[in-house]
Amino acid sequence: MSSLQSNADSTNSEPLQRSNPKKRRKIGHTNSPTLVPWRSDTQQRIYSSKLAHALRHVLRRNHPPPPAKSNTGREVRETADRVLAATAKGRTRWSRAILASPLNRWKLRRMHKKVRKAATGLAKRSPETRRRLPVVQKKARVLGRLVPGCRKLSFPNLLEEATDYISALEMQVRAMTALTELLTGGTSHASA
Amino acid sequence: MLHCLNSNASGNGGADMTLLQRQRAIIKFQQHNNNHHQGYSSSSSSSSSSVSVVQVKSCSPTCLADHDHYSIKPDTCAVPWPKLDNNFLMGFTSSPSGFPPPPPPPPPPPPFDLNSAISRTSSCPLPSLGDGKHTSPLNNKRKTDNPHNTKDVASDNKEKRVKVDAHHHTPTPVKKATQASGDDSNKDNSKTCQKPDYIHVRARRGQATDSHSLAERVRREKISERMKFLQDLVPGCNKITGKAGMLDEIINYVQSLQRQVEFLSMKLAAVNPRLDFNIDDLFAREVFPACAASFPAVGMSPDMANPASYLHFNSPPQIDAGINPQDISLRRSISAPVSMPETFLDSSCFTQSLPSSTWEGDFQNLYSVAFDQARAASFPSQLFTGLLEPNNLKMEMEM
């Protein structure tokens, strides 16, 4: 873990390194876990406060809930993700991807899936061609699809982004759980 | 003049001679040179001797190990010495690293070529030593490694070699003069000093030294390092070895986390009507008892606003004096200097508020429990029951 600490000081140079030509190997490539300590309580509180503020706006907008569409859940989720990405301060690729494309990321995903299914249905696959993609690479591709903005990323960078993303998601789950429990706990007793 | 040095070497044993002794011997040798030689050679040697004296004395203890490697060689190569007294000294002064750049080299370049050549060929007799020291694999690898200067990965095996490599790289003003030798490592030395982005790698003992395999190895080590971090992060991955299984677990975990977030967001959306008027109060109560100064980024004003609303609630003495000591503790926590590091403040706030009342302690415990246990797939029901008490108090205070 000492290598993590040594990489922490090179975080500032990451944007610089990205501008360098790809031939150059980067010294002390930033290890994302040190960028934002997602496990610390303070980070969680920062996130919770920002989330609360953001959710207030969203829910006020949807307070007389339009009965036709029930997309409040999706909006909540998108705001939560965006607040998470904002808390990440844009140092990681997935946070930048979330912030850059707020327009119905999930809808686009569904469209992508439909297109892909249609395409693969037409192409004939013999059993030999399936073996061309080694198992690890297939899984790496799946992981790349899961982590936002990391589809065409090299394997080691993908693992880094995944590390940061996982710890960020864990913090998000913790914060949202606490928030819902506070709110639902309050509601149940106000009504009683 | 040579005899004194040789006798010193033979008297003490090449391996046993300490660096200082060696250096002293060399200084004596130089003094001998100064005394006996006149003209160009003596001037060069005197300049070199002055330089070498300065440099030798400033040798840091960390370099000693590597200097031992370097200084062992001249002891064994007793034969070429008679030709190379001055040249050897110049070579010796150029080898230690971390020194201020030596004075400009004397005009004739060929002695320097011979220098660098000698300092490398002097490593040849070493494998015959069979000391069992770690210098022999080092020198074995040095020869083959010169054409390869690729990335570096810090490891225990390579520590000394990294230092030696650094020794090679830092004295670039001297090395630039020796570039006529056309050594690959020299070119890479100048490259490294101009473009410090390159990481240097040395081949480990018993492994292929092909540049491709070196690069592959570094890449593999990077990947395995990151997989290790992921293994720590993802629960239940300790038993699984192998990239494919690990990736499976990671994918499952990310999917489960994303599903949890969706579920929670649905829940939050359903909570809707409550949010309009109550979120400020609830949030104040949630945030504030935990730690007042935990939002230094947000600024002091929201922190001041929250306690104001909170204390407002407390002024009507509806609740017993159990809450009042809590007030005092909270005021103490407000006045705590915000400049203190955040984590320290967290702990201090907790410790201050602990003795005050059970309400505070319960809520704090539940808060931390909520944070720690929320990772579980099933939201524990005890959280709900536990939260009933503080919620009762909250409702009381609202009235």
Q: Is A133 on the interface with B (CB under 8 A)?
A: no
Q: Is A13 on the interface with B (CB under 8 A)?
A: no
Pairwise CB contact (< 8 Å): B247 & A174: no
Identify whether the C-beta of residue B22 lies closer than 8 Å to the C-beta of residue B89: no
**Residue A90: per-residue pLDDT:** 66
Residue B265: band (very low, low, confident or very high) from pLDDT cuts 50, 70, 90: confident
Cβ count near B233 (within 10 Å): 19
What's the rounded Cα separation, in Å, for the pair A151 and A145? 5
Across the range B225-245, mean pLDDT stands at: 85
In Å, how far is B168's CA from the nearest CA of chain A?
19
Q: Is A97 on the interface with B (CB under 8 A)?
A: no
**Residue B204: per-residue pLDDT:** 74
Query: How many contacts does A have with B, using Cβ atoms within 8 A?
Result: 208
**B62-84 burial code (b ≥16 CB/10 A, e <16):** ebeebbbbbbbbbbbbeeebeeb
Residue B214 has pLDDT above 50, yes or no: yes
Residue B144: band (very low, low, confident or very high) from pLDDT cuts 50, 70, 90: very low
**Residue A78: per-residue pLDDT:** 82
Residue A44 has pLDDT above 50, yes or no: yes
Polymer length of chain B: 399
What's the rounded Cα separation, in Å, for the pair A69 and A149? 28
- Cα-based torsion angle of the residue sequence B121, B125, B131, B133 in order, rounded to the nearest 10 degrees: 10
CB < 8 Å to B392, chain A: 189
Name the closest residue on chain A to residue B391, using Cα atoms. Answer: A186
**Residue B241: per-residue pLDDT:** 80
Identify whether the C-beta of residue B130 lies closer than 8 Å to the C-beta of residue B85: no
CB < 8 Å to A41, chain B: 290, 294, 343, 346, 371
CB < 8 Å to B158, chain A: none
Across the range B31-44, mean pLDDT stands at: 56
**Residue B205: per-residue pLDDT:** 79
Which of A49, A135, A190 has the CB atom closest to B298's CB atom? A49
List CB contacts of B249: < 8 A, sequence separation 6 or more. Answer: B234, B236, B237, B240
Interface test with B, best of A31, A106, A142, A182 (most B CBs within 10 A): A182
Which of B154, B253, B269 has the CB atom closest to A72's CB atom? B269
Q: How far is CA B319 from the centre of its chain?
A: 54
What's the rounded Cα separation, in Å, for the pair B252 and B240? 14
Burial of B315 (0-12, 13-18, 19+ CB in 10 A): exposed
List CB contacts of B315: < 8 A, sequence separation 6 or more. Answer: none
Pairwise CB contact (< 8 Å): B275 & A59: yes
Pairwise CB contact (< 8 Å): B250 & A143: yes
Q: How far is CA B393 from the centre of its chain?
A: 50
Amino acid sitting at position B156: D
CB < 8 Å to B291, chain A: 45
**Residue B50: per-residue pLDDT:** 46
Q: Is A63 on the interface with B (CB under 8 A)?
A: yes
What's the rounded Cα separation, in Å, for the pair A162 and A148? 10
**Residue A76: per-residue pLDDT:** 81
Residue A79 has pLDDT above 70, yes or no: yes
Residue B255 has pLDDT above 90, yes or no: yes
Min mean pLDDT across A34-43, B23-32, B153-162, B368-377 is at B153-162
Residue A137 has pLDDT above 80, yes or no: yes
CB < 8 Å to A140, chain B: 247
Across the range B90-114, mean pLDDT stands at: 46
Decide which of A108 and A165 is more confident. Answer: A165
Pairwise CB contact (< 8 Å): B226 & A159: yes
Nearest 5°: phi and psi at B150?
Answer: -120, -160
Name, of A44-58, A151-165, B9-23, the range with top average pLDDT: A151-165
CB < 8 Å to A137, chain B: none
Mean of per-residue pLDDT scores for chain A: 70
Instruction: Indicate the SS3 state at residue B356.
Output: coil
pLDDT above 90 coverage of chain A, percent: 0
Residue B256 has pLDDT above 90, yes or no: yes
**Residue A107: per-residue pLDDT:** 60
Pairwise CB contact (< 8 Å): B375 & A173: yes
Residue B23: band (very low, low, confident or very high) from pLDDT cuts 50, 70, 90: low
Residue A141 has pLDDT above 80, yes or no: yes
Interface test with B, best of A61, A79, A177 (most B CBs within 10 A): A177
Residue B35: band (very low, low, confident or very high) from pLDDT cuts 50, 70, 90: low
Residue B207 has pLDDT above 50, yes or no: yes
Residue B320: band (very low, low, confident or very high) from pLDDT cuts 50, 70, 90: very low
Smallest CA-to-CA distance from B97 within B152, B28, B43, B169 is with B169
Tokens of B146: 């010169």
Residue B149 has pLDDT above 70, yes or no: no
Residue B121 has pLDDT above 50, yes or no: no
What's the rounded Cα separation, in Å, for the pair A112 and A119? 11
pLDDT above 90 coverage of chain B, percent: 5
Residue B145 has pLDDT above 70, yes or no: no
At B150-203, the pLDDT tens digits run 444 444 444 444 444 444 444 444 434 443 444 444 444 444 445 556 777 777
Residue A1 has pLDDT above 70, yes or no: no
**Residue B259: per-residue pLDDT:** 92
Residue B387 has pLDDT above 50, yes or no: no
Residue A102 has pLDDT above 60, yes or no: yes
**Residue A27: per-residue pLDDT:** 46
What ipTM score was computed for the predicted complex, to two decimals? Answer: 0.73
Q: Is A140 on the interface with B (CB under 8 A)?
A: yes
Nearest 5°: phi and psi at A178?
Answer: -60, -40
Long-range contacts for B13-21 (Cβ within 8 Å, ≥24 apart)? B14/B72, B14/B75, B14/B76, B15/B72, B15/B131, B15/B133, B17/B71, B17/B75, B19/B59, B19/B64, B19/B67, B19/B68, B19/B71
